[in-house]
Structure 1
Amino acid sequence: MNKISIKLGLLFFAFILILEIILFSFLYTGLVDSRIDEELAELKARGESHRHVLEKSFDKTTIEHVALMETEADTDVVIMTHKGKVLAKSNELTSPMKRLMKHERGSVPFEGMIVEKRWATESYISTVSPIVIDDRLIGHVYMFKSTNSIQTMVYKLKQHFILVGSLTIILTVITVFFLSKVITLPLIRMKQATKALSKGDFTVVVSHRSKDELGELAESIQTLANDLNHLKKERNEFLASISHELRTPLTYVKGYADIAKRKGVSDEERNNYLQIIYEEAEHLSGLVKDLFDLAKVDQHSFVIQKEKVSLCEFTNKIAEKVRPAFMKKGIELFHSCPDGLFAMIDRPRLEQVMINLLDNSLKYSNRNSKVRLQVEHDQTKNKIELSVIDEGIGIPKEEIPFIFNRLYRVEKSRSRESGGSGLGLSIVKEIVEAHGGQINIVSELGKGTKVTIELEGCK
């Protein structure tokens, strides 16, 4: 059994046992007191009955008849004068009886009284009733009952309570055992799951159908496990992708450097090799810069310094900067922006975003196609939308949800012709969200892609 089951079971058992002892004690005491009160009331009522008979006919025959009636009963009667002379008795008097009969005969109330009720320590319980004829005290009727029968009755009652109490404790132990197992089983499973998580096993499954706090905790642990498993896969894919991205340019640099330093290589060939080495070094530099940006994002040190910027001026400069590259590939770049639009942005960071999006459109668009860089204003929501729309190859619908993942590329072969490391769009998303904005992609395979950045406008 697990420690938590033992602790919880002992706690429940101790609480229930204390509660049962208190309840059984009250019940036992109440029943005993009630039964003794009944015995005393019955004894007193019997004495009162005899008193009434004697008050009607206080003669020798009646007195002897009353005494005779008690000879076969489990009670004893003693009839005596008010001066203490015994007129009749049902059995021989014992010392305890004689002692009790000396008890305040002159102060007995008319309705009678209990002389002795200490059943646990005395030999008899006793009552006395006065015999009053014509408003004159004639004598007393003493009633006695041996406490042996009462003690026997109390003993049997105690035995019953012990038996019932023992059965109750046994049932309590069994109930507490099963309840503690039922309650702690989900906790034990969660403990095992978290232990597996701490050892790096993120494939654990925590099943709990209840809708209470335990169910919510199990669901949270399962969510954590799923997230960690996803992060583990992403990390492995990320490391594999980074290794691939770094290995390829390094291979080119090493290979062409070996060729360039050989004897007999012409200056023209050597310059060509050096140009390839330079391009690969640039590629490595860009990749390292992207990785550095992502590292700053993860460490929350990615600082955005906003300023009020005219979006038309901002986007126009970007369009003019990239236009030569579009013209070289035979792609028309259109720019449209209504006057008077301003936004609080980090100019260098958002410029990095727009150039990245335009560069993607350039890479994945064919000659004689069109690319539009447009700015629109939604006055009802006071939102500004910066869009890059191309007529390129498009993105498969099933790939769009993953397009912003790090090192994710729709083109799986990572060919040098298609370029890119797969880090650009993830950085773009981080920069846009750091501005408090959103980025959305709508694309259709073979027809083109529209990337829209939504930002808060300002006056």
Structure 2
Amino acid sequence: MRKRGITVKLFAVTALFFMVFYAMIMIFQLLFFDRFYQHYKTKEVAKHIHQLAEGYEKNSWSEDELTKQTLSYMRETKSPLTIVDADGYQLVQDPFNIMLEKEDGNVVEVSLSLLVINYGKQIRALNITKGDTLIVQGEPDAMVPSVIYPSVITKDTSSIGEASGENEVTIEGKVKSTSLPKNGVTNRGLGLLYDALLEWFPLDEAQIKQLSNGESMQRDWVEPWSGKHNLVLIEPFKKDGEIQYMFSVTSLQEIKDTNEALRIFYIYIGIAGIFLILLLSIFYSRLVSRPLIKLNEMAKKMVHLDFSSAKPIKQKDELGSLSNNMLIMAQNLNVALNDLKQANGKLKEDMEKREQMEKEQREFFEYASHELKTPLSIVKSFAEGLQDGVSPDKQDHYIEVIIEEADKMEVLIKDMLDLAKLENGAIKLRKVSFLLSEMIEGLADKLFCIAKEKNVSIEIMPKNEQPILADYEWMERVMKNFLINAVRHSEPNSVIAIRIELDQEKGDSVFIIENKGMQIPEEQLDKIWKRFYRTESSRSRMTGGTGLGLAIVQQILDLHGFHYGAENMPDGVRFYFRFK
């Protein structure tokens, strides 16, 4: 019973809604639409003609510019326009004209507006362009002899028009410029304009008085020979100290005809509306059962712990309340399951992280013990030699070896402590601005002896170098490690090239250090930054170092947020990092 009652209510509301809506449309169409459209049309055309008159009055437009603005108005409003005096005489160049240059060099304006009324399509079909030779037969203007109103225009073997035979002259010349009508302005509109000029001008005293006060005039005008309704607009303005008038005619007949057709059309719409209401009633009856189907589907997904697609049914009744309660329950269960999944995921990540830390810790102790084992063994063996009483001439050598190995162990332990601080985030950077080239020059002087042993020279080549904002002490450690690494792996009698350049394309600077020597296997380029990693498979100590230099470099550069890397060259290795 409830379902049938809801269906009846929906049907009644739908039918009432459509009937009221249809009645409102019909009432508006029958009683108000004509007046609304006429008011809207008058307002729009009046605005455009006022803007045109204001622009012409304030600006010194040439005839070409005025013609351009006039044609723009005619296209936008679909209404013809001209400028006249109080007696109705046109004061401006015909917007549709051909400027014809005769053999004697004189230019004649061929006014086309009257000819366009009857031969608009034929004029466009002639395709008259600049440079064409035309023969024009027509009547000259009584006031301006350089203007002719053509009755016949001939191009090549094609002619349009019909000769009247009275007071006509024939001229021939080449087209200097054209302003021809397009499809936006109808021939009928031009004829209507000239009919209105004859009807409305000359203006009477009351009209002249109203216009002299700067008031525009909009009047309904019914054509006497057709009975069609039009809107006449007269916009006054001052030009060269004289009052002139923009005159335009807009047809209102089209909307009246259209409205009559719409009244008949709405009868058919009303018949179709009855069938539409029946179809909508069937649709709404099904709409009532859809919430129950959705609730059932929601419950089935919840059985399988799927709460992702649960959506509420937006109804203010028992079904809507049930849907909201099920949605709240699904959301709570979903949150609980997600929390459980996140907890399990975090626990798994923590366990994996702990295992990784334990693995790294074992590797660290393994590598550290390996690195300390050799110097300790050397110290022990040489100390035992001293204890056993070596010959006096060897005692100094034994002591030097012990001190040297002790220094190596001290450097290794210091590197291990620094690396631990960097990895634990216990270092706070004290950034200052300085030039890397100046820092490197000082370090190169300190490493002169090491480089001299291999007869390796260091060349620093800054180019448009920009200051770097970084921790001076830690960046000095980076530069020192890069330089020592480059010297140790350089071929004898080679050059270590250091470049510091401004990359204008990327908007940052780049530090590059290159040494000639053995390349790093491509598969090991990403591993060289690991602690105690050496490219030699035997982990030989011949090249020196603790195996922590590049690992420290990596931690310092990461702490600064610099992008870095290593790559092979044809004859060596290049290290780089970018900074701003």
When normalised by structure 2's length, the TM-score is: 0.40
Largest Rg, 1 or 2: 1
When normalised by structure 1's length, the TM-score is: 0.50
